[in-house]
């Protein structure tokens, strides 16, 4: 039996406690200050406010001020916070991370570095503070389904032995875990699929605006998006093959079926200029992860070479999406020109 | 200006007359005996009964008994009939096909050969009767959207010069044509995506039966389906890379959003045994293309080697789907075991 500490009791942190607790492990779910009320509700026997299910047997709850106890002696510590939450939580636990055998992250996105001008994958942020092996999680994984034990197939990416150790801890009949050593491919896809989901969501807005479905439009963008994520992964030392599997094609498929990224695309497709639609969601307090990922990914791509050609990396669909969201380019025309 | 004859005035034959006529070509739309009423309706100025739009300017209509005039002097003859219609229509036009510069097919599926025991890709059936170059069409292409000029991105697969000639004839701002020499990859994906769409449709039935979305389930099957189509293409001399693009990943993406293949999967996922659900649709006169493609593809796979290993080709998801539809295996369990 392993001791597994999950840092973050938001949607995904709570959800992933389902498979690992089903395996009989000692699971500790720690709430960040943002999750304080969630922990209280769960302790009182209530259901998670967004996931709608109660905490599973075998999961012990830790409130924000019980951080030290939560990680004490853990075999695996899993970061399940937002991308902007990674750096402060890593800092908070820095002294403890040195001694954790394996660290996992299910957070998706990029980090701007301590000075705000870098573009780091989230495992790189964790690696600043520990030399323990790090395992990243990717693949199509709606949290509410994971929480309910609906069949879910994901990928753990990291050094062989560590990734296998984590896979053994989390794998259940309903939670199907593949393992890869290509953590770069997993993390690039996990972050960038949110950006591309905005582009594909535009088709829903075009349907709204015209009364005619634009399914062909969306489906033509789909393989292009997967291809570009693969190129970005390759330029960073990962593999396109990883992206073509669960973390890229699989996760993009589920991401375009609902969610905030798709919603932003829908508003733009329906006629709202990109910068205005993005600002409206921001002002409504709605974080669109793909919007930030687009900014990072766009800047990152401009700094890289295509390893196949030695020329600057060209990702036309990402460029077009950037033009739509940051320069107000007309969405249908701009995206279609990059298909 | 080229003369382009489309054989078949069903959904796709009618639809594809939109882009090619927009380019100012002499387009002839010939109705098979099944399409006789459609041709009459269109001639009288009515709309296509299923597509809902009228015939485009520049498209001349030919009734079933005007077959000879329809193909006389054509630069391109395009087969737009069902897979079971290919062989009889090829036979009907056999003498003329010898003299057609380029032949295209947008039909999707397999042919059992003259004796019923073969497994042929549809271009192979055409090639029995002509040595003219043959170009196959694949990619996400809902006919009603193509008919309306909604942006659509597809692939023409065939010998370089012929494929480029066809692409030039059909390409418009809204009808984006890629070209590949990998007609095997295009045709395998075009046929098999219908079979795999049944498997992915099971997720909709599981949602119906349980009240809980099974999006993760569907999305986990998605890259596996694309991977298996790629392996089948490779075993036949095609390329997985082709399948990962528009003809496979792209077309599967659109095929699971609606249609009969998805519907069959939904019924099975909701609890109806596979053989029973297939029989019910058959008795209702509803042809499920993916059901036939599954039978052919399953038999084909069993006869092939995996070129990467030299061992018999293994396609676990296709095997599982076959067990569900032909042996009544429980759908969720069988498919999930192959993920």
Query: Which of A193, A195, A184 lies closest to A124 in space, CA to CA?
Result: A184
Q: Residue A139: which H helix or E strand, with range? A: none
- List CB contacts (< 8 A) between B250 and chain A: 219-220, 222-223
What's the N-to-C CA distance of chain B in angstroms? 50
Count how many residues are written for chain A.
339
User: How would you class B251 by CB atoms within 10 Å of its CB: exposed for 0-12, middle for 13-18, buried for 19 or more?
Assistant: buried
Q: What is the pLDDT of residue A201?
A: 98
Binary contact (A249, B139; C-beta < 8 A): no
- Residue range A247-278, pLDDT digits in tens: 999 999 999 988 999 999 999 999 999 999 99
Which residues on chain B are in Cβ contact (under 8 Å) with A185? none
- The answer to whether residues A93 and A191 belong to one domain is no
- Give the pLDDT confidence of A283-321 residue by residue, as tens digits: 999 989 999 999 999 999 999 999 999 999 999 999 999
What is the per-residue pLDDT for B84? 93
Q: What is the mean pLDDT of chain B?
A: 97
Residue B136: pLDDT band (50, 70, 90) is very high
Q: Please identify, among A181, A212, A233, the residue that sits at the C-terminal boundary of a domain.
A: A181
Residue from B96, B142, B193, B231 carrying the catalytic annotation: B193
Q: Does B152 touch chain A (CB under 8 A)?
A: yes
pLDDT at B105: 98
Is residue A130 domain-shared with residue A258, that is, in the same domain? no
CB-CB contact of A194 with A289 (8 Å): yes
DSSP string, B299-323: HHHHT-B-TTTSSBP--HHHHHHHH
Q: Which domain holds residue B282?
A: 184-336
Q: Which tokens go with B303?
A: 């006869």
The minimum CA-CA distance between B148 and chain A, rounded to whole Å, is 9
pLDDT digits (tens, 9 = 90+) for B53-73: 999 999 999 999 999 999 999
Is residue B252 domain-shared with residue B151, that is, in the same domain?
A: no
Q: Into how many domains does chain A fold? A: 2
- Specify which residues A79 forms β-bridges with: A7, A105
- The H or E element that residue B63 is part of is none
Same domain flag for A144 and A190: no
Supply B333's token pair: 């369990």
> What average pLDDT does range B148-174 have in this prediction?
98
Mutation target vs A (from B185, B252, B253, B336; most A CBs, 10 A cutoff): B253
B320 in A contact zone (CB under 8 Å): no
Indicate the residue among A134, A156, A181 that finishes a domain. A181
d(CA B255, CA B243): 15
Are the C-beta atoms of residues B6 and B29 closer than 8 Å to each other? yes
* Residue after which a domain boundary falls, among B137, B158, B181: B181
Do both A188 and A53 map to the same domain?
no
pLDDT digits (tens, 9 = 90+) for B221-237: 999 999 999 999 999 99
Convert the pLDDT of each residue in A189-210 to its tens digit.
999 999 999 999 999 999 999 9
Q: Are residues A22 and A138 in the same domain?
A: yes
Helical H runs in chain A?
A: 11-22, 36-43, 67-71, 83-97, 122-127, 143-148, 160-170, 183-210, 215-235, 240-244, 251-255, 260-269, 274-283, 289-302, 316-327, 331-336
How far from each other are the two terminal CA atoms of chain A, in whole angstroms? 50
A100 and A146: one domain?
Answer: yes
Among B42, B64, B62, B63, CA closest to B53: B42
Residues of A in contact with B253 (CB under 8 A): 218-219, 222, 253
Q: Choose among B145, B151, B249: nearest Cβ to A223.
A: B249
pLDDT for A117-151, tens place per residue? 999 999 999 999 999 999 999 999 999 999 999 99
Give the integer Cα–Cα distance in Å for A324 and A84. 24
Greatest pairwise CA separation for chain A in angstroms: 59
Q: Are residues B250 and B150 in the same domain?
A: no
Quick: pLDDT tens for B80-122.
999 999 999 999 999 999 989 999 999 999 999 999 999 999 9
Output the CA torsion sign for A299, A121, A142, A48: negative
Q: Residue B93: which of B70, B75, B61 has the closest Cα?
A: B70
Residue B226 and residue A249: Cβ atoms within 8 Å?
A: yes
Which residue among A141, A220, A339 sits closest to B216, beta carbon to beta carbon? A141
pTM for the complete prediction? 0.97
Nearest Cβ partner of A212 from B148, B216, B249? B148
Contacts of A218 (CB under 8 A, 6+ apart): A200, A203, A204, A256, B253, B254
CATH of the domain at A119: 3.40.50.720
Does residue B18 share a domain with residue B47? yes
Instruction: Give the mean model confidence (pLDDT) for residues B208-227.
Output: 97
Asked if A339's CB is within 8 angstroms of B176's CB, the reply is: yes
Which of B12, B219, B255, B337 is the best substitution to test chain A (most A C-beta atoms within 10 A)?
B219
Chain B residue with Cα closest to A146: B216
Q: Which residues of B touch A152 (CB under 8 A)?
A: 216-217, 220
Q: Residue B175: what pLDDT?
A: 98
Predicted confidence (pLDDT) at residue A56 exceeds the cutoff of 90: yes
User: How much is the pLDDT for A292?
Assistant: 95
- Going by pLDDT thresholds of 50, 70 and 90, the confidence category of residue B258 is confident
Instruction: Assign residue A270 the CATH number of its domain.
Output: 1.10.1040.10
Q: Could you tell me if B205 and B133 lie in one domain?
A: no
pLDDT of residue A223 exceeding 90, the answer is yes
Name the minimum distance, in Å, from the CA of B91 to any CA of chain A. 33
Tokens of A52: 């709608």
Instruction: Tell me the per-residue pLDDT of B288-321, one tens digit each, with 9 for 90 and over.
Output: 999 999 999 999 999 999 999 999 999 999 999 9
In 3D space, the residue among B291, B133, B267 whose CA is nearest the CA of residue B201 turns out to be B267
pLDDT digits (tens, 9 = 90+) for A78-100: 999 999 999 999 999 999 999 89
The answer to whether residues B141 and B203 belong to one domain is no
Domain co-membership, A168 together with A42: yes
State the best of B220, B246, B269, B339 to mutate against chain A, taking most chain A CBs within 10 Å: B220
**Higher-scoring residue by pLDDT: A231, B99:** A231
């Amino acid at each position: 039996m392993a001791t597994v500490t999950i840092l973050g009791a938001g949607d995904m942190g709570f959800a992933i406690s389902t498979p690992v607790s089903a395996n009989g492990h000692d699971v500790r779910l720690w709430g960040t200050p943002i999750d304080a009320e969630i922990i209280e509700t769960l302790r009182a026997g209530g259901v998670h406010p967004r996931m709608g299910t109660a905490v599973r047997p075998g999961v012990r709850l830790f409130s924000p001020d019980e951080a030290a106890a939560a990680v004490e002696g853990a075999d695996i510590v899993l970061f399940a916070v937002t991308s902007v939450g990674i750096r402060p939580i890593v800092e908070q636990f820095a002294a403890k991370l040195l001694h954790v055998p394996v660290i996992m992250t299910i957070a998706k996105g990029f980090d701007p570095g301590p000075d705000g001008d870098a573009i780091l994958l989230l495992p790189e942020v964790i690696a600043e503070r520990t030399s323990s092996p790090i395992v990243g999680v990717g693949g199509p994984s709606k949290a509410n389904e994971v929480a309910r034990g609906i069949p879910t197939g994901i990928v753990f990416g990291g050094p062989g032995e560590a990734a296998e150790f984590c896979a053994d801890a989390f794998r259940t009949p309903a939670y199907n875990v593949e393992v890869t050593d290509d953590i770069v491919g997993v993390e690039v896809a996990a972050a960038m699929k949110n950006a591309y989901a905005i582009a594909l969501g535009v088709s829903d807005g075009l349907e709204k605006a015209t009364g005619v479905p634009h399914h062909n439009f969306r489906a033509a963008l789909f393989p292009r998006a997967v291809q570009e994520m693969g190129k970005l992964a390759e330029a960073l030392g990962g593999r396109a093959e990883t992206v073509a599997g669960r973390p890229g094609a699989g996760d993009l498929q589920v991401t375009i079926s609902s969610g905030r990224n798709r919603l932003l695309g829908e508003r733009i497709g329906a006629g709202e200029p990109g910068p205005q639609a993005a600002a409206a969601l921001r002002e409504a307090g709605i974080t669109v992860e793909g919007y930030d990922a687009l900014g990072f990914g766009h800047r990152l791509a401009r700094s890289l070479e295509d390893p196949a050609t030695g020329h600057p990396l060209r990702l036309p669909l990402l460029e077009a999406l950037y033009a739509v969201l940051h320069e107000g380019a007309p969405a249908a025309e701009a995206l279609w020109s990059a298909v």
